[in-house]
Amino acid sequence: MNKITFVVTATLFSLSGCQSTEQGLPLFASSAPDATTNTPVNTNEASPSDIVDALTLAALETEIGANLDDEPHAEFDDVWDRIAYQLSIEIPQNRQVVTERNWYAKHQSYITRVGKRAEPFLHFIVEEIEKREMPIELALLPIVESAFDPFAYSHGRASGLWQFIPGTGNRFKLKQTWWYDGRRDVVAATRAALDYLSFLHKTLDGDWLNAIAAYNSGEGRVLRAIKRNRKKHLPTDFWSLDLPKETTAYVPKLLALADLLKRSEEFDITWYPIKNEPHIAIVDAHKQIDIAKAAELADMELNDLHQLNPGYNQWATDPNGPHKFIVPIEKAEAFQASVDNLTDQERMAWTRYLVRSGDTLGGIASKYKVSVETLRDINKIKGNIIRVNQPLMVPTSAKSLKQYTLTASNRLAKTQNKKRGSQKLTHIVKSGDTLWDISRAYKVNHRSLAKWNGMAPTDPLKPGKKLVIWTKNPSTDKDSGIVRKVTYKVRNGDSLARIAQKFKVKVQDIAKWNQLDTKKYLQPGQALKLFVDVTRS
């Protein structure tokens, strides 16, 4: 029996159990005996209209079945093609999208650079999105967020490929310690980002553009914008909402990238080729391990392994985990076998330290470049009290700390390398200091000041913290200075010139720091804010 004969027969066979709804649509019942009468259903009767309906349904089913059978399974050599094939969100050709697309289209080098960074991770991200049946456009979101740089740190204290701020990271269970930052762990952060986007999609009534906007600015802000529009009887789609400038450009950037990928030939853009196959695998080391030791076992350069595992802030994994490593898929099996056979002594180097008079946990931690919390955990210490001659076990790195170039401290040090034509100063933070005030005092850009110190411009400052400052207008002839913020109370007979001479600063600087009019007299008791180089005073 051919397919169409089978379908027609089966359909006719079931017609006797077919009733009509009030709307006239067929409602199929079970072929089991009628539950009320317990008598068999007569299968030999069908009206002419029933037969017509059956033939129509059979034809439709045959056509659908043929389409399903005949349509070839889509296979792609390149993961970008796999993404392009599944793009589904409507892309309006409005000014916002066209502006962003034109920028990307003019910057082939940027598209290539981003593609190279994406190569290890993109296939994994696509697989995760497909598992959840989410829009494939989300695979392009790390381009907008971080240009696929897992070490990216933005002005809003956001970190990693998916740019989680600390609070949202905690909300989606991304662990953040001195040793480890889950916001930069590509696997953990990808799953958390998709969890967050799924939540936003449900919260915002199934509107993906609003969900993507909320990923940038927070669901509260988008919900308030929707509420305002509803009060005014206005549409609540993304394009109609009053949102921050950054967010109004954020969604168009994603859509512009999707449009550019869909029409790459039209815009003469080449996407860096990435094979449509798994590139990475995860190996569990089970316990704390030195990253240099892990690299040796994985037959990889230390930096190459650390580049794939940017969540590790230090030279070893967190004592309390995780201890998982992303490695190239071809190295995973041998690496797992090697790490499974390690003894505890082979995993880490340790130093036994006897506490001396005057020692503090903070001082010992600083000396060995570990955290106070680590010393407490390892040595089962509660609080900060230690005794003279008390033995402490201290973890130490297998190699020189300078060789772990991607640790948090070494990445920060790289941003503080000598700037050509500039002089390095050190500012010690006092209570009340802000990055903005300090940047004005040293005549530097406050965003640059934040970057030199591995911070965001809005980060709070702790008293005693040392800030590195590069200035082309140094206040000292030495190679470096230590500058403190000083509050000086004006005395009888004081003038700007006298105060400037006393503290070895310039009159115009005092005036600028305190927004003073140099033509007006100072008042006794008036408080002045000064930034004083203590190496000269």
- Determine contact, residues 161/184, Cβ cutoff 8 Å: yes
- The distance in angstroms from the start CA to the end CA of the chain is 103
Check residue 28 and report its DSSP letter.
E
Which residue numbers are catalytic?
A: 145
Cβ neighbours, 10 Å, residue 12: 17
Give the closest residue to 290 by CA, choosing from 388, 373, 407: 407
As a three-state string, the secondary structure of 368-389 is HCCCHHHHHHHHCCCCCCCCCC
Q: What is residue 352's three-state secondary structure?
A: strand
Write the DSSP string, 166-231: HHHHHHTT--B-SSBBTTS-HHHHHHHHHHHHHHHHHHTTT-HHHHHHHHHH-HHHHHHHHHHHHH
Check residue 291 and report its DSSP letter.
H
User: For 475, what's the count of Cα atoms within 13 Å in the CB-facing half-sphere?
Assistant: 29
Residue 111 to residue 378: CA distance in whole angstroms = 46
Q: Which residue(s) pair with 350 in the sheet?
A: 395
As a three-state string, the secondary structure of 310-348 is CCECCCECCCCCCCEEEEEHHHHHHHHHHHHCCCHHHHC
Residue 24 to residue 7: CA distance in whole angstroms = 22
Check residue 528 and report its DSSP letter.
E
**229, burial (CB in 10 Å: exposed 0-12, middle 13-18, buried 19+):** middle
Residue 85 to residue 78: CA distance in whole angstroms = 11
Q: Which residue(s) pair with 395 in the sheet?
A: 350
- Determine contact, residues 298/331, Cβ cutoff 8 Å: yes
Write the DSSP string, 87-110: --S-----HHHHHHHHHHHT-HHH
Helix axes 122-131, 186-203, angle to 10 degrees: 40
Give the closest residue to 243 by CA, choosing from 205, 214, 203: 214
Give CA separation, 457 vs 152, 179, 337, in Å. Answer: 15, 24, 45
